[in-house]
Structure 1
Amino acid sequence: MQLTEKIQLSGDHLVYLPNSNYVAISHQLDHEERECLRKEIAGWLRTPEGIIVRSKAGRKSAAVLIRELNQLRSEWRSLLKRSAAMKAPGRVCRRLSLLSSILNENHRPESCTVFSNIPVDNDEKISAGVDMIYEPADNLFAVHDLEKIWRSVEQPGVPLPKGASIAIEHTAALTAIDVNTGSRVVGDHWEEQALSINLDAAREIGRQLRLRGIGGMVAVDFLRLHKHENRDRVIDELERVTAQDPATVKIFGYSEMGLVELTRKRTRREAADRN
């Protein structure tokens, strides 16, 4: 539990800050799109309002964003009116439910399926694209065969197709990821096979970053590639798989030592810290 005077009201595309007086825009949008949104949205705000723009706002029209902003303003006015009529101490607004917190953590996806063994409050606002399925089971992880996946985050090794693997090691300074050929045969066609392994590794690394909640600095030792265009393909694949990550991921490319460097914003405790 955290006490703060920085009030935030969350919508599907915007987070309304009634008293913060600044504009922040997701770094998952490109620079040109961010600057365009910044100029446009700044004209909609009234002092001392502020706004945080989610990444999926970039695909929406100004009319959609203005409508959501006005809805959040209306919600804020209702809270002020309610608080003025209350006798302290009292609860003006309840905190987000677990469902809303999870959706917010994942930047409120436009469509997804949520399985729950707890009935959801019918009064709770849920995006139209969220399909709620109630399953009265004691262990949903077991029902949907997720226990094995969850236990796998405790292991440093992650298998890749055809015998290759990646090894993930956490240190105080950074997370190191090493790509190994394993039993996968490499011979005269090293470049071709190394590229294939690296592309598989890039896809799995994007998945593991989210699954393990890895944050901070990450250094990846991909298999050595001699052709510049093949190294570019690895970076392109890594950018593609991390583009949908709710946390901001910045990829800095290959270093002089041949390591791929990236950072991921910390949003929760890493799985390694919970063991």
Structure 2
Amino acid sequence: GWIIRTVAEDLTEQSCKREIDHLFGLWKKIKRKAGSVRAPTLLQRETSLTRGIIRDLFSDKVDSLLVDSKVLHNEIVQYLKQIEPDLLERVKLYSVETPLFDEYDIEAEIRSLFKPRVELPTGGYLIVQPTEALVSIDVNTGRYTGKKDPESTILKTNLEAAREVARQLRLRDIGGIIVVDFIDMESRGNRDKVLQELRTHLGRDRARTKAFAVSELGLIEMTRQRVRPSLWHSMTAECPTCHGTGRVFRPEVVVRSASWPCGSIPTWRCTWWNRSPTSCVSSRSRQASSWRCATTR
């Protein structure tokens, strides 16, 4: 029998048949090998990372695929000939002298995925904050105020935010419960437009997503299937200084707390060093003095 997953719901009958023929041929090859070797032996290994990416992510929704390696380009072409020859013309070998990631500023895009703030085209921005229970996304107008028609301005910002929210969820591999706080709008019709825009762009996601109606507080609650650990969990660790809070004490607080062991020594005459990785704090007074304290951890 065959198991057809929900990700295949948009495949044409011809594409599905090619995939079945490919897998059936692979199964016959495994059976032949099993009958001619002695155990223990390797009959079949998992597909390569390159083929896995092509299988899972490359479809007719992708305009083009640039590859800067002749070896990988050849592997992709040979694989597509077996499963999806109609996509061959979209695979292009990148041969420009400038490195591919530099040409399209990919490294900067990757670094931006670890920042909570996401800029929108018209000046608004998102704040993406993961917590233990859920991920909150706050939408702000920023410098884009639109004094003449604020409702129209807010609608435009919210529509941009809806598109960007769907994109950020995919790029950051965010799963579970997500709550989006869009900018408040008076018109019920405008709120429905934003919800529909969000649902439209979520429809491009391979992971199962569901966005619920706008609440009385103007929030949209949604869920997204956890396909894999999020980018935060897979590529970062808890900060040893702030212990995951994202906050450190202000310099004046550190100075005040460091003065406790000094007893009767006037705090304004003390000089302190806080040797934490995030700050170096000197005394509140730069006056020359014979009094000097030093604290160690």
TM-score computed with the length of structure 1 as normaliser: 0.72
Task: Report the Cα offset of residue 193 of structure 1.
Answer: 1.0
What's the C-alpha RMSD, in Å, of the aligned pairs? 2.5
Quick check: 1:80 aligned with 2:31? Answer: yes
State the SS of the aligned residue for 1:260: strand
Tell whether the 8 Å contact from 2:70 to 2:93 is kept in structure 1 after alignment: no
Say which of 100, 105, 111 aligns to 2:56.
105
Task: Report the Cα offset of residue 124 of structure 1.
Answer: 4.6
Matched residues in 2 for 1:191 and 1:94: separation?
Answer: 57
Say which of 203, 214, 222 aligns to 2:174.
214
Q: 1:212 to 1:76 in 2, by over 3 A?
A: same
Task: Report the Cα offset of residue 226 of structure 1.
Answer: 1.7
Equivalent position amino acid for 2:204 in 1 = Q
Tell whether the 8 Å contact from 1:118 to 1:136 is kept in structure 2 after alignment: no
State the SS of the aligned residue for 2:205: coil
Q: 1:264 to 1:96 in 2, by over 3 A?
A: same
Matched residues in 1 for 2:26 and 2:158: separation?
Answer: 49
Matched residues in 1 for 2:157 and 2:112: separation?
Answer: 20
Number of the residue aligned with 1:265: 225
Number of the residue aligned with 1:40: none
Range moving further from structure 2, 143-152 or 167-176: 143-152
Q: Any idea what the Cα deviations from partners look like across 1:12-42, whole Å, max 9, x if unmatched?
A: xxxxxxxxxxxxxxxxxxxxxxxxxxxxxxx
Matched residues in 1 for 2:19 and 2:133: separation?
Answer: 41
Task: Report the Cα offset of residue 157 of structure 1.
Answer: 0.4
Say which of 223, 248, 251 aligns to 2:208.
248
Residue pairs, 1:70-149, within 5 angstroms: 70-106=21-57, 108-110=58-60, 111=62, 112-117=64-69, 119-120=71-72, 122=75, 124-126=78-80, 127-128=84-85, 129-130=87-88, 131-133=91-93, 135=95, 140-149=100-109
Tell whether the 8 Å contact from 2:94 to 2:100 is kept in structure 1 after alignment: no
In proportion to residue count, which structure has more strand? 1
State the SS of the aligned residue for 1:96: coil
Q: Any idea what the Cα deviations from partners look like across 1:106-161, whole Å, max 9, x if unmatched?
A: 2x413531424361254851232141425598964224311111111121001112
Identical counterparts, % of pairs: 32
Q: What are structure 1's unaligned runs of at least 5 residues?
A: 1-48
Matched residues in 2 for 1:104 and 1:190: separation?
Answer: 46
Q: 1:212 to 1:67 in 2, by over 3 A?
A: closer
State the SS of the aligned residue for 1:85: coil
Say which of 107, 129, 132 aligns to 1:169.
129
Quick check: 1:152 aligned with 2:112? Answer: yes
TM-score computed with the length of structure 2 as normaliser: 0.68
Q: Select the structure with the greater relative contact order (CA < 8 A; seq sep ≥ 6).
A: 1
Q: Any idea what the Cα deviations from partners look like across 1:213-232, whole Å, max 9, x if unmatched?
A: 11111100001112121111
State the SS of the aligned residue for 2:4: strand
Greater Cα radius of gyration, structure 1 or 2: 2
Aligned residues between the structures: 225
Say which of 200, 219, 229 aligns to 2:160.
200
State the SS of the aligned residue for 2:136: strand
Matched residues in 2 for 1:85 and 1:134: separation?
Answer: 42
Matched residues in 2 for 1:51 and 1:60: separation?
Answer: 16
Matched residues in 2 for 1:149 and 1:94: separation?
Answer: 33
Number of the residue aligned with 2:4: 52
Task: Report the Cα offset of residue 59 of structure 1.
Answer: 5.1
